[in-house]
Structure 1
Amino acid sequence: MSSGRSLREILDLVADTARSLLGFDFCGVLIPDGSGRNLVIEGWSGLSAEYVARVNSDRPVQLRGDGLHHAPSSQAFRSGEPVAVRDIAGEPQFTPWGGVAEEQGYRSMLSVPLVAGGEAVGTLNSYHSVVHDFTDNEIERLTLLANHAAIALTSARMVDELQQLNVSLRRQRDLLTKSERIHERLLTVALRAGGIHGIVTTLAELVSRPVLVEDARGTVLAQTGPVTDLPGADVRAALPLHGDQSEPHVLGAGLVREQGGYLAATVQLAGEIVARVWLPRGAAGFSPLDERALEHASIVISLELFRLRTGTEVEHRLRGELLADILSGASAESRPLRERADRLGHDLSRPHTALVGQLDMATESQRPRAYERALAVVSEFAAAYTPRPLVAMHQGAVVALWPLDGARTGAAAGPVGEAEHVGAIASSIRRAMASVPGAEGATVAVSGTEQQTFRQAYRTARGALNVALRTGRCDIVVTPDDLGVAGLLLQLNDARQLVAFADRTLAAVREHDLRRGTHLLQTLRVYLDSDLSRTEAAQRLNVHPNTVSQRLRRIEVVAHIDLSAPATIVEVSAALLLLDVAEGGQSA
């Protein structure tokens, strides 16, 4: 019991002791198998290995079934009482084991239960090679030995479980130690500014296979190893980033799924999936240490992306402050402003055009995140041009001051004119903004290629955007030339002149709305856009036609005009157009 021997050695010792002390020809110890349905021989003395193997594999002692056909060992185990068989040849229930018994050479047997803690844990079987009548003294002595053997069996099992637990603990300790070393190695790469590529290279060495990392848009951030061993764009696109795929395998850093013979581990940042790590599964599969390496790499990649995102947010803030100062009227010729722009990679001495983009959102709750992504994709697009355009958020829209003589880095010069060049850029920006999640479209307005100050260019583009949206022209690229008279008016230097002209007709209506919180000016605008149809205007305003009629009469009274006169309609339409243009221009 205290020898520290294995379970098998203890059971062999029990069988050998019973055989030598009590004079049996053969002895065996039977215990339940892993399923708990059969008794199998686990320790023996005098029995041949062939006999033991045949009984255990072909004729195990069943513990369940019809009680009339239980083997002696099964009866002893279930009843907790000794079972003796004088001559096995005369016992019908022993028929299944008759052949092997004859080969082994025994004719009689005694099976006593091994009982520990009031529960049978096995049987001790003893055999004679001849027919034998077992005496009470023999049964008593074998039972006494079985009681001690049951305690030894229980203790041996406990020792065996403790040994297995120690082995498991040592393995976990070794795995934890190696895991810590892996994490330190990957973290060291990140801290030494190795970047995503350095992390990927280190991970590839740890797991002995090529690695690819892509961001949430499917753009490859880094890869190492033969390209042919890595998943192509079609394989990566076939596994949706947020899809509910079957049979995921969860690691500490995120979700790992299989696609086309490759593993894809998600990289999360603040609960958002920001990247995926791809690598071949391999014929040998993934070891626990490989899983730890992938888990730690995902965490370190998340930290690196957080660092990059933080740096990007700082750049966006600095560019936003620079843009706000420029558009507020600060002189682009001032030395402090030029130095700030130079540090950010912008050359304010060149002529620029202004582009202003606005998203068409499905839900307002997604607007902040959608604009954050839109700014990121437009900034990424602009970063490929020299000199670098100035891109930032300003007054709820994505604004870009784009050098007219800029060129895409590495692109060959072509015969494309400035207007066509700016138009192509605006179209690319519109498509990029419209592609962000949650956006149903994007409208981009361009100031044109005429020489203007930064403030004038922005005012023109912003005004064109506002006029286009108010007239229902969405998800397009718009220029002042596309807006006719409104586009011409947008290029006036002083928007206050337009407001003054419009107010000659509509000042009283504007003041009435401001003072009383009414919607007379909106009603007038919708009425004109509805081709003077009060029914259609009512539908668009979601009110009764009588309400529209009442509001129009109120407008006539307040403004002292007659809306039934064609000249008045022309005058009012012109005033509303001037207000659209003026309000757009005053957005700067």
Structure 2
Amino acid sequence: MDVAGDILEQLLAGAGREELEATLARAEREVEPRELARVRDLAARVRDQMERQRSREAELSGLYETARDLTAIRDLDEILAAIVRRARQLLGADMTYLSLNDEADGASYMKVTDGALTPEFRTLRLPFGTGLLGLVAQAGAPYFTEDYQADERFVHREYIDTAVDGEQIRAILGVPLEVEGTVIGALLAVHRRVRPFPADEVTLLTSFAAHAAVALENARLFQQARDAAAAADAASAELRARAAATERAAHAHDLLTDVLLHRGGVVEVGQVLAEVLGGHVEAYDEDDRQLAGQPAAPPDGLADAVARARTSGRCTRTDAGVWVAAATAGDEHLATLVLRTDGPMGLPERRTLERAALVTAMVLLFGRSEAEAESRVRGELVADLLAARSQDPERLRVRARQQGADVDGDLAVAVARHASERAGQRVVGSLARELRGLGTVHEGQVVLVARAEPVALGEQLRDRLGGATVGVSHVEGGLTGVAAAWREARRTLGVLYRLGRTGEVGDPAALGLARLLLGDNGPAEVEEFVDRTIGPLLRYDAERDTRLVETLAVWLDASGGLRDTAERLHVHPNTVTQRLDRVGRLLGPDWRQGARRLDVHLAVQTHRLRDLM
């Protein structure tokens, strides 16, 4: 019986231990014991060798498949996670982790783990030469230990040992990650029990680390290539955007030049900006009155933005994201451009906005020159009207119409003072054009003639002049009566100043007693004074058959005594109080104060005297 041959055939056929033992048992009767022992030993050796070969083939096959899979991954973080996951599977480890070297810091820091129990371990950072990981990262050679905590070959640090204890780590195997001879990190596999690492495991992890390092480098290069491509695309896009912005800026320059050549205004400048830069454009004068754009309130922080723009000579941005540019001439602030846009505002767009502000300043200066020329012509007509020269009324009307003024109807004159003659001329000229009237600075005072109710005209002039005191008067007799109305309005203005009533708008009737004392007045002026002062009370009594004027007269005679007034009128004091409250609502809250009380008292007495006549 050929026992050795039978055993070999069974081994080649993949027979198990039981089948081999059965064959050897049958051969005991035919083969010498020594020969049988030799065959049994040989069979065991061949079987172990074949099992190791199959295990090696399985490991190599797994290693090949893992390397192939790694080379297909392009994302760096994804490939790092795949490396530690596959290494753990290949070695059957409890945990694997990978570190990367920081040469500048002289340490290797934990990048990714698989199977870690504590968050502290995932952020561990080991100086070169410290612990097993630091030694592998520094030396670039494999190291392993059956029991790390008891192994004195390694430099132990308290924080490292604490992290190792937290993970319950005992056996550690670490191999370097190398790219072109340079150690870039380390790959480690650990077990939470004491155990040795056979040479084939060390070889397997070392081979895997070599493949992993190549895959890491490929992923890094791929990422660099992708970043370079993205940067190239971004640079190309930026160049295209700059070219487009430059083209828009050139187009805007042409359009703004066209506005100047065709004598356009601020509205046209705003339209060009809105077309070129997008969004909404508004323009405001130096007093924040809107000159162009859709009606809107000035943006928050406009004053600060204008101050920065004037200081820097550049457009600026408010906290709310609104762009602001100042149109200036020398030190004079002429207007403000406001751009509300969500579009890009790179350097070309900002320069376009600043160029538009410059064009706006030029447009306003041109307009001012024209307005000043026009104001001189209008001023000549106003001067002729105020001089009361003997002129043909029809000729005066024709001259006014030639200057765009509407003087057919009820006219009023308003007179005010202003610190700057030039600024006053600009304001009154602008307002005169809006009202289709006439305006100029005459004998140091601003004079406005227009179709309007006198007080309303004065209030408009006061607001435009920033709260000035204004005297007004109604014009009697058309253009030929302007001179007399002007003198009365000027006299009213002087009285307002002497009475300390600055910032008010007043006509002759509003002067009260002062008018009666300072002017040539007859019954008509007295009647107007009474009506202007207590007219609301007279009309209230007439319409409702009440006794407000009588109550007021008795109260004044009683020097304001409430009880004396009630006794003289034979009414309860509460009734007097209620009537006086009604007087206050009709005459205004200040009727008991100072000069106003004197006017009221005089008007009541005049009314009583008139009733006796």
TM-score normalised to structure 2 length? 0.44
Structure number with greater CO (CA < 8 Å, separation at least 6) is 1
Task: Judging by fraction of residues, say which structure has more helix.
Answer: 2
Please identify the structure whose Cα radius of gyration is greater.
2
